[in-house]
A and B are shown apart, each in its own frame.
Chain A
Amino acid sequence: MSDPDVDPTGLIHEEEVWVEEVHAARRSSRLPRLLVLALIAAVVLAIPQVVDVVYINVVSRAAIYGIIAVSMNVLVGYAGQASLGHAAFLGVGAFASGYALTDLGMPFGAALVVAALVGMAAALVLGGVALRVSGLYLALVTIAFGLFAQETLFNIRFLTGGGAGQTAPRPELFSGPVAYAYLCIGVLGLVLLFDWRLTATRAGRAIQALRDDERVAASWGIDVTAHKLMAFIISGGIAGIAGGLFASIEQIVSKEDFGLSLSITFLLMTVVGGAGNRWGVVQGGVLFAVLPTLLDRTHENFHVFPFTELTATWEPAIGAILLLLTLTMFPGGIAQQQGALLSWLGGGPFKRDPDAHTPAQGGGMGARP
């Protein structure tokens, strides 16, 4: 243990200096930081007001994709697992909420709780079986679950209305499209708050330890299977809530809304956003939610080469290319590229952590050996 190059006292001293530097940085930049944060919040809150009414549902969708991204992030970013069937969890939540609203006459808030519980239950069953083996099997089970949900579950007529779809009215207080967009943004805020507190808990930290190395985590006394399952259940619950909100955008959902390619899109936006970083993945979600509309608008308005060929039908291809570029060049995704900014906003210095392995800096998909 007596390594000549490592002087224990020296290490502690360096640590103290570093901690002091961070504290100093925090004190000095508190005001500008708060101003920038307030500005970002103001811009987000102003969006539903300034967006053309034709596109207001895209804003709701963007907020919901943000929630889904947080849900995926708990699984992909924190626990290092992948789901290729998250559209099914969204669908389960959407149909559960629709059924609770329309057939049971429940209030909207209660319907969202039902949606979350149903999502958690589905995750419990699938994860309970799959997570005893390796992470690859969870991905497989979620794929099979996605297909089963689309062909079997969402075709059960009395629950989902079969091919006709299930109605899901908006709550009275948020029945207008602008008000509903605010509701979605508000729920996104709450989900982010929950996610932030989650990562501060013992269990949340244990889940994140799994991503870096399961064996090391186990040697610290972390119950690997239990924490993976917990991450999956939390992810399923958040996806269920997103589904409940999703159902009431158009106030009707049908099984066609939850295909395999949507599941893949959810995975792409999480990785492109920067798995492990909640701000990154939310941006990824928003990007993928508005990308089809954006492509349609540029196609209509710019009559120069790439835009004349690119319509919304190419959106998944662009997403896939972004994914491959992210994985090979920027494993930390959008969050890695904004590393310095996100670090500063979080109270640290304005520079990217060179050792970008911590969740705050976007460990990303590539962080794991």
Chain B
Amino acid sequence: METWIEVLVFGLQRGAIFGLVGLGLALVYKATRILNFAQGELGTVPAFTALLVMTGFETVGDKAVDRGMLIPAIVTAIAVGAVLGILLYVVVIRPLGKVSPVTSLVATAGVALLLTTIELNVFEARARRFPRPVNGGFDLPGTDIIVDWHTIVILAVLAGVALALAAFFRSAPGVALLATAEDPFAAELQGVPVERMRAMAWGAAGALGALAGILGAGVFESLTPGLVTSTFMIPAFTGVVLGGITSMVGAVVGGFALGIVSQAAIQIVTTYELDVPGPPQLAVLVVLLAVLLVRPQGLLGKSA
């Protein structure tokens, strides 16, 4: 029983990161009908920026991080994420013009490769120590399980982001964004600055990515080039599809589901001593194929 509670705790921790990445993916998809493959790197690049701030801008050394710089580092990272998101939209996506969703996915995949390569060349292909905002953990009452404070921080941040987004979509600019997503032409006729709304969605996705990058690197307490793309983005993609690709609530629900399923897959393989390598990756593929077979519009989606 206790192992399964542990699966749940770790599943929620990973799932919350998937949810943060997924919210960025769903927001951009909602606003511009683009599946942003670079969303993961909108997390890794700001995380490296935070590391730079905390180490006094040392790119390759092993200098210890200055925890006193934590808050400025996080603020800088979020700003970098937002600016990167807007730049991505203005410099890459908008000049593409009206192209198929597949073509824009290819373009964002190119951007992801570009950013990862820059990280590799600037920071070298190795892991750097990355701090958690809050260290340590606490005993879960009635069990021997120690829950990291970091898990609580991630869940709290996700809850805060979800509340902020819910409030945003009830405000005037939020409604304007929804109108842009629904019918850009009609929105423009109503005086909605469509281009600005779209750029804003990309910027918000970048800020969400930055949060996912910082907290995700904190999960492993280490940061490598391409980290968010390789560890969090594909489950997040699957979570978004599971939740219904344009649904913000679905992205979070799907993220949690994928987090728990991945951790359960690891636990099942360990418990029954199965000779199956890479259980989380197998679980992600199985879930994705199952969703597409059974309910392609996702749990909370309206149409596929």
Measured CB to CB, the residues of A under 8 A from B are 80-82, 84, 126, 129-130, 132-137, 139-141, 143-145, 147-148, 150-152, 155-156, 260-261, 264-265, 267-268, 271, 313-317, 319-321, 323-324, 327-328, 365-366, 368-369
In the complex, the answer to whether A314 meets B304 with C-beta atoms within 8 Å is: no
Which chain B residues lie closer than 8 Å to A134 at the CB level? 101, 304
**Contacts A152-B278, A314-B121, A328-B96; is A268 near B238 (CB within 8 Å)?**
no
| A320–B37 CA distance with the chains assembled, in angstroms | 13
Task: Say if the beta carbon of B127 comes within 8 Å of chain A.
Answer: no
| A365–B102 CA distance with the chains assembled, in angstroms | 9
| A82–B111 CA distance with the chains assembled, in angstroms | 16
B interface majority secondary structure: helix
Task: Say if the beta carbon of B234 comes within 8 Å of chain A.
Answer: yes
Task: Say if the beta carbon of B187 comes within 8 Å of chain A.
Answer: no
The interface size bin for chain B is: 35 or more
Closest Cβ of chain B to A30, distance in Å, is 38
Measured CB to CB, the residues of B under 8 A from A are 35, 37, 92, 95-103, 105-107, 109-114, 116-118, 120-121, 226, 229-230, 234, 237-238, 241, 276-282, 284-285, 288-289, 292-293, 296, 304
- Chain A residue with Cβ nearest B237: A140
Please list the 5 inter-chain residue pairs (A to B) with the smallest Cβ-Cβ separation, ordered nearest first. A151-B278, A155-B277, A320-B114, A152-B278, A317-B117
In the complex, the answer to whether A260 meets B107 with C-beta atoms within 8 Å is: no
In the complex, the answer to whether B237 meets A143 with C-beta atoms within 8 Å is: yes
Picked from A133, A148, A365, A369, the residue with its CB within 8 Å of the CB of B296 is: A133
A-B contact pairs, 25 of them (CB 8 A): A129-B293, A133-B292, A135-B100, A140-B35, A144-B285, A147-B285, A148-B278, A150-B281, A151-B280, A151-B282, A264-B110, A264-B112, A265-B113, A313-B120, A317-B113, A317-B117, A324-B107, A324-B110, A324-B114, A327-B110, A328-B95, A365-B99, A365-B103, A366-B97, A366-B99
Interface centre among B92, B101, B109, B288 (most CB of A within 10 A): B109
Which chain B residues lie closer than 8 Å to A315 at the CB level? 117
| A80–B99 CA distance with the chains assembled, in angstroms | 12
Closest Cβ of chain B to A157, distance in Å, is 8
In the complex, the answer to whether B121 meets A313 with C-beta atoms within 8 Å is: yes
Which chain A residues lie closer than 8 Å to B107 at the CB level? 323-324, 327
| A265–B109 CA distance with the chains assembled, in angstroms | 9
Picked from A147, A155, A327, A368, the residue with its CB within 8 Å of the CB of B284 is: A147
In the complex, the answer to whether B285 meets A81 with C-beta atoms within 8 Å is: no
In the complex, the answer to whether B292 meets A327 with C-beta atoms within 8 Å is: no
- Chain B residue with Cβ nearest A162: B277
**Contacts A135-B102, A260-B229, A316-B116; is A141 near B289 (CB within 8 Å)?**
yes
In the complex, the answer to whether A137 meets B103 with C-beta atoms within 8 Å is: no
Given contacts A139-B102, A152-B277, A155-B278, 18 further A-B contacts (CB under 8 A): A81-B102, A133-B304, A141-B289, A144-B284, A148-B284, A151-B282, A152-B279, A260-B229, A313-B117, A315-B117, A316-B116, A319-B113, A323-B106, A327-B103, A366-B96, A368-B99, A368-B100, A369-B100
